[in-house]
Chain A
């Protein structure tokens, strides 16, 4: 269930389009809904003011990150929570292992957490003999199928109702024509037992409030509240960039993120977790462990332009609006984070070479700029990473040579026109297969036809 890596993007996207056309249909339909809802939700507020505010709070937090991380740690400890720091995925898995062994954990329920996917914790826990159950309905579905999430907010949007009916029929023997309500009831029953039996609950964190030592989590199902309330141990995995300075700041972020993600004024359940149960609490975990994770975030923070991508609140709005993402869903990107946000954080977190060609999986159409709730300048950052890719020699040598030659000609109008005249006389369909740049074009489209006379020629002859 792990990701194949970004380098196969072209193959994987082509395969997805050719062999699994239902993915494109399902993803288009789901994102159409997300977009309509988000658009309506933004129109109900002064979205420009909200986005400006959110951008500034996040930039403030990030440019003071060390202080806020220390404050968050102090507060969490005062709340009775335990705090750990993980530089790498390896560190995080080691910490998880320690906690699992110390507490003799044999079963775990998981709330949806992109960070946990990024770290690959499910596989590791299974190795340790811990049974891990995803409890978010979408994550549950893909766990049963055995594939990674396709979208930040709706992990199973690439799967249709028919896919789910077939899956449940296979796993539970339910009738093939069971509707969504019946399927959901089956899932509820099955997961109910797991919630009640689990020793450990694992969650991520949408926001980490420094002022009060609070891990804040947004959801609609209630599985996060259940996973963080029922088991005796709760582990929260939180990326260091999730810091929000004050409790009252969270009021803005939960509302903005909910509107951006699903068009809701607020997610159905919003948890503010300070620490383990106290004297007087009837229930709640005996221990709460917060693992603060770096795993490439400090590397991204060090980039003088791309650090702004760390403002991301994981709403998925950029995925929903991206005309490239919408053709295939997230899998071809080969990493936890796909779409526009994936393309700009991967080079920082994984290193540019490993992230290629993600910065190029965009036409720079700019649709994402309109919807990002924290105003990340995505197209600018894509160009930034492309410039770095060229500097580091990671782009095609043929292409570089071609563009250099083109530029030379462009600086010499006489030569430029002469080259144009040659192109005019060349049947591009035939030449297309030979010229590497054109071969991609003619694979899917008819070759363009040059005008019989170029404009400059017509101008010379006089335009009536």
Chain B
């Protein structure tokens, strides 16, 4: 099986090691990975701020890049969601191609569980107390809820209950920079309801940047790690 990996603009720049771990995970799962070099950005920041024309251009770029892929896997619920849920509408003059791409696009943990049928990666997370943050796009656009959690648990982790686990972290792309005070208050809501854990993890780099950025500013000791890296740690070799 061959999978095309889309690192995402944010992943390439800020979560590069997690992206590398995602590749390792996919290979470990028995899949061939290629990385089309013309990939850049899925266009979500433009789409979300109402810049439809720019979003369409970036969607085209992405469509052309992954046109011949059997599967496209991303270390991001929001970018996968963008492609799956919004490309057909954005690229309505290339509806067929867009729909084909949308149907073949997956967030990493979703792909592992639903397409590859993997439940058990290893026991490398034994003894770890983890809080799982549900990224809004992964949860509500892609319906990803149990897959990451069951993978974590099957690696031996204790995934703690967290009152605010499904609440938005306040990133929202440019929202975080344009309405920083409210955005920080939303991050605080998440951070203040956390119990003592070894780290917090999520499918999405944007959420992790938001929470870790706020956590750091407040000098909190809680750590934040991308799900791809955490699951790779779960694979005890």
Contacts and interface: CB of A to CB of B under 8 A. Distances in A.
Given A387-B52, A407-B57, A440-B176, A445 B14 contact: no
Interface stretch (B94-102, B120-128, B179-187): B179-187
Contact of A458 (B16, B43, B45): B16
Given A323-B170, A409-B40, A445-B210, A403 B46 contact: yes
A420 interface: yes
Most buried by A among B13, B48, B209: B13
A411 B13 contact: no
Interface string B198-234: 0000000000011011101100000000000000000
Contacts of B216: 445-446
Nearest to A387: B50
A130 B16 CA distance: 68
A382 to B, nearest CB: 9
A159 to B, nearest CB: 19
B58 A440 contact: no
B140 A366 contact: yes
Given A369-B140, A413-B38, A441-B176, A451 B168 contact: no
B46 A17 contact: no
Contact of A454 (B13, B49, B54, B217): B13
A17 B46 CA distance: 29
Contact of B14 (A386, A395, A449, A463): A449
Given A13-B181, A363-B136, A387-B50, A447 B40 contact: no
B136 A367 contact: yes
Nearest to B45: A403
Contacts of B51: 387, 390, 400, 403, 407
Interface size bucket, A side?
Answer: 35 or more
B167 to A, nearest CB: 5
Contacts of A400: 51
B13 A420 contact: yes
A10 B181 contact: yes
Contacts of A451: 13-17
Most central of A366, A424, A445 by chain B CB within 10 Å: A445
A420 B172 contact: no
B55 to A, nearest CB: 8
Contacts of B46: 403, 406-407
Contacts of A444: 180-181, 183-184, 214, 217
A463 B213 contact: no
A458 B46 CA distance: 27
A363 B57 contact: no
Nearest to B163: A32
A385 B49 CA distance: 10
Contacts of B179: 9-10, 13, 360-361, 440
A327 B140 CA distance: 21
Interface in A275-310: none
A309 B76 CA distance: 31
Nearest to A11: B181
Interface in B1-26: 7, 9, 11-17, 19-20, 23-24
B172 A364 contact: yes
A137 B58 CA distance: 53
Given A323-B168, A360-B175, A445-B210, A14 B14 contact: no
Nearest to B178: A440
B184 A445 contact: yes
Given A362-B172, A455-B19, A445 B217 contact: yes
A332 to B, nearest CB: 8
A403 B54 contact: yes
Given A383-B47, A406-B46, 14 more contacts: A323-B167, A323-B189, A327-B186, A363-B172, A364-B172, A366-B141, A395-B49, A399-B49, A424-B13, A443-B181, A454-B16, A455-B15, A455-B16, A463-B23
Nearest first, the 9 A-B pairs at minimum CB distance are A363-B172, A386-B50, A445-B213, A451-B16, A440-B177, A444-B184, A365-B168, A446-B216, A365-B136
15 contacts: A14-B182, A324-B182, A360-B175, A361-B182, A364-B48, A366-B137, A370-B140, A387-B51, A390-B51, A403-B46, A407-B51, A440-B180, A450-B14, A451-B14, A455-B19
